[in-house]
Each structure stands twice: as C-alpha cells, then as structure tokens.
Amino acid sequence: MGYGAQWDGFAAMERDVRAMVADPRWPLTPTQSRADAISRRALATQDGVCWLFGAYARWYRLDPDGQWHLSAPPASLPVRASTRPVTVPIPYWVVPTGPDFSVDRGSTQGFVGPDVPNEVTERVRDLIITHRGLRREDFPLTGGPFRQVFAAEVASTVAAVWGTVMWCAYAPAFDGNEVMLSMFGEFLARPLPGDEFVRWLPPVGLADLVELYAERCRSGFPDAGLRLAALMARTAKALRADARFRPRASALIAMIEQVLNQPWLDHTALQSGAVAHSWLLRCPPNLAPAALSEVSPGDHFRHVFYDLVEALAYTADSGADPRAVAASLLAADVASVTTDAVTYLYPWMDDGIRQAMYVTLAEPGHPLRGCWPVDGRLPEGLTPPDRSTAAAFLGAAYATGLAWCELAGATPPPTGFPVSAAVGQCLVHNRDDLPPEPTTTPRKRVTETTSDWLYST
C-alpha cells in the first residue's frame, strides 16, 4: 500500500471496514475475531493520535488517557495523506455489529430555506382535517407540555399530529412561513418562540408523545388510545418522504406498528408507567440511533456535534479545521446561555475538541474567537457557499444546541442560539416560498386564535 500524495488513509480505511462489515458472515463471526479485525485497521496521524472507523459507521479518536471518543475525522488533505495503519487494543463497544452500519442518517438540514415538500404537508393537512373535529371529551388534553401549547378546546388528536412532527424532526427550526406550521396556527394558545423569520421550537420527548396514548388506555378507553397511536404512525408515514424526518419517522413507525398488531403488548408497561421504555425496546437495532436522545443524552450530543463538524466541511477549502471551527461555534452558543454547561460537556468530547473549546472560552483574543457571529451575522469566511450547505449547517447547529442544553439541564433561548440564528440570516433571501396569506385548515376555527403569530415581529 503506497503513501503518495494521493493517499487518503481515512477514506481507504473506511472503504476497507465497510466492505468487511457488509460481508454476510460478519454478524456470525465470533466477537473477539471481529474486534481483532477492526483493531488491525486503526490509523495513526503524524501527531501520534489514533483513529478508528467503527460502530455506527463513524470515526473514533483515542485520547492520551486511553479513552475512545466518537469524533469526526480531520478534513485536512495533508493530515489525511500522512496517516499510517496501526494495530491498537479496542473496547467492545466500538466494534461494528453489522446492523449498525445500515443506519439511515437522513438529512441535517433545518426547515428553513428548503421547505417541507407540498405532498408531505398536504398529507399531514388531511390528517388534521379528518381528526380535528373529534370530541374533546373522547380525546382530552389533560396535562403535560401539549396542554401549554394548544388552546383549551383542542383535542389530543391535533396534539398527536403536532407531537409526531416535532419528535420526528432532526432539528425543529422552521421558516416562519412554512406551511407545516401555518396549518396549526388556529389551534395554538400562544405564539411559538422565534422571530419574524425563524421559529425555534423546543423538542418533544417520546415520553410526552406516548403519554397521549397511555392516558387514554389507563383511563379505560384503549380503543381511543390505539386510535391516537395509529394517527401518530400515519403522520410518521407521511413525514417519512422528507429526509429530515425519515430516520425518526421510521423508528416511530416500527415502535407503534407492533402495538397496533398486538394491542396487549403495553398492558404491563401501562401499569408500571414505563410505556415509553417499552416502545424503545421494540425499536429495531438499525433504527435505534434515531431515538438515541431518549436513552443517552451524552451520546446524542456526540453524534449531533459530529454532524456539525461534517456540515462545516466546506471551511476546509479555505484552510480552516472544521473540528476547531465547530468547537469555537459551540463555545459561542454556550457562552451566550451559561458557561457552567462545560462541566457537563467536556466528558463527552475528545481531547482536541475539548482544548479548542477551552481556549476559545478562556482567551478573548484567541484566533478561534474570530469564528463567532458578530452583530447577528457569521464572519465572511464562514458564510456557507450555497443554500443546501447553509440549511445543513443551521440544522446541525440547532440540533447541537438543543442536545447540549438537554445534557446540561439548560433552557434553550427562545430567539435561537447565536450561531444557528446567524446561519438563518444567510437563508433570508433564499427561501423556497414567498410570504403568503396566512394558511389554515379549511374548516371552522375551534378558537379565536389566529395565525397572526406567524407573521408578527
């Protein structure tokens, strides 16, 4: 194997590992044999750092203390060309199992700039029209976060559609004129957080979504509960056509369909209050990463930060290191909310990212501070080259912000994090849509709430 100017150790080793794991015999190979095969395919860069392409088809970095961290690889061509294969001992959890390599990553794009396709929004609209008129006595909103979002007269069927949309979204940042949001306008109790352009929406937890179904079952109305679960599945099937919803939508469908086919499955879980846990146990291995935030906020943070580094790959064209840029931008968001969060974040970072974030926060004059937004806008050198790149950057940045807030117990800012808000400015003049008249479902309003919240400043 030659090491010339064209050699890219990371690309070559990734191809090798992918081909090996794709072999039908891989899942049947003894665990130790698989670990030995992967351990012989590590890479060392010139600075002595070891890298490994492993579980979930992603890269891992070995810290000086012997800990492996999920970490996006270097983008610099000279660094990638100067690698050499090495053999290192590895822990079992970085060894690919087989199904984990078929994970669908979907798209990290936010719903700003590229709108949700019309065929998706119309299918969701049909579900709202069909289920909005059901009696609130049969489908009440008895509490939880949805009760705070929707007006008093709204049935839980509408909340089930909304909750499914929010749970399935990679990052729930939406264009203020997005049809997907407009159709819910008449049902809301108050304006959604954001500004005149972007709605920065909080994530919906699986437990909150499942509780709509579980409450009906516990109250002695299992048929109503199953109808809500079926509505969630139908909504997820409509959303699955958009790559930004697809991974989580597929996971949700897989969890729900087993209940619809065997309604007794949750009987014990309903009594113990562990219905969401029961659903997660039924999620297939190849779809489980889509629900990672529900079981490990720390690992979820690692994965979305990995997405952010990948979304910043374009910065390597100007000589920047996307890993360091991502660390600096994370520091900008953390500094705007609470620097206390670093206590919770540092253990989930590799040494290189941790050091880059530390110096950015600690030294106001450090060059990495030059990546921070100024007056609500990105520095010129970080401006994405096109709309799709900007949308991917925005989605990954917002997902990372929500993830570290969840991990640190912080509250996301209602006007958006500084970085994702600045990226949004790059998309103001690059929308799919033109600001239309307020759009609502073509039925009698159930409250006096209007869609004006979508267009107010």
For the stretch 350-403, pLDDT in tens is 999 999 999 999 999 999 999 999 999 999 989 999 999 999 999 999 999 999
pLDDT at 442 over 50: no
Q: Which residues contact 164 (CB under 8 A, 6 or more apart)?
A: 209, 231, 232, 235, 236, 239, 252
Asked if 229 and 260 touch (Cβ cutoff 8 Å), the reply is yes
| Residue-averaged pLDDT of the chain | 90
Q: Assign 3-class secondary structure to 295-358.
A: HCHHHHHHHHHHHHHHHCHHHHHHCCCHHHHHHHHHHHHHHHHCHHHHHHHHHHCCHHHHHHHH
Over residues 415-424, mean pLDDT: 95
Please choose, from the candidates 401, 404, 406, the residue with its C-alpha nearest in 3D space to the C-alpha of residue 198: 401
How far is residue 431's CA from residue 337's CA, in Å, rounded to a whole number?
29
Confidence grade of residue 99 (pLDDT, cut at 50, 70, 90): confident
pLDDT at 100 over 60: yes
Instruction: Give tens-digit pLDDT for 5-41.
Output: 568 999 999 999 999 999 999 999 999 999 999 999 9
pLDDT of residue 191: 87
Spatial separation of the C-alpha atoms in residues 154 and 139, rounded to whole Å: 9
Alpha-carbon Rg of the chain, whole angstroms? 23
Q: How far is CA 76 from CA 60, 288, 365, in A?
A: 17, 32, 25
What is residue 43's three-state secondary structure? strand
Percent of the chain with pLDDT over 90: 81
The region, left, alpha or beta by phi > 0 then psi within -120 to 50, assigned to residue 367 is alpha
Q: What is the pLDDT of residues 106-163, one digit of tens each?
A: 999 999 989 999 999 999 999 999 999 888 889 999 878 898 899 989 999 999 999 9
pLDDT number for residue 433:
53
Sign of CA dihedral 257, 258, 260, 266: negative
Kindly tell me if the per-residue pLDDT of 341 is higher than 50: yes
Q: Which two tokens stand for residue 26?
A: 């891989």
HSE, side-chain direction, 13 A CA sphere, residue 290: 31
Q: What is the pLDDT of residue 104?
A: 92
C-alpha–C-alpha distance, residues 148 and 19, integer Å: 50
Q: Which residue do the tokens 């800012």 mark? A: 413
Can you tell me the distance from the alpha carbon of 241 to that of 366, in angstroms, rounded to the nearest whole number?
44
| Strand partners for 200 | 173
**Model-level pTM?**
0.91
| 8 A C-beta contact, residue 5 and residue 45 | no
404/304 Cα distance (integer angstroms): 10
pLDDT tens digits for range 203-248: 999 999 999 999 999 999 999 999 999 999 999 999 999 999 999 9
**Percent residues over pLDDT 70 in the chain:** 93
The one-character DSSP state at 176 is T
Domain boundaries, the chain: 9-102, 118-286, 296-425
User: Rounded CA gap, 434 and 121, in Å?
Assistant: 16
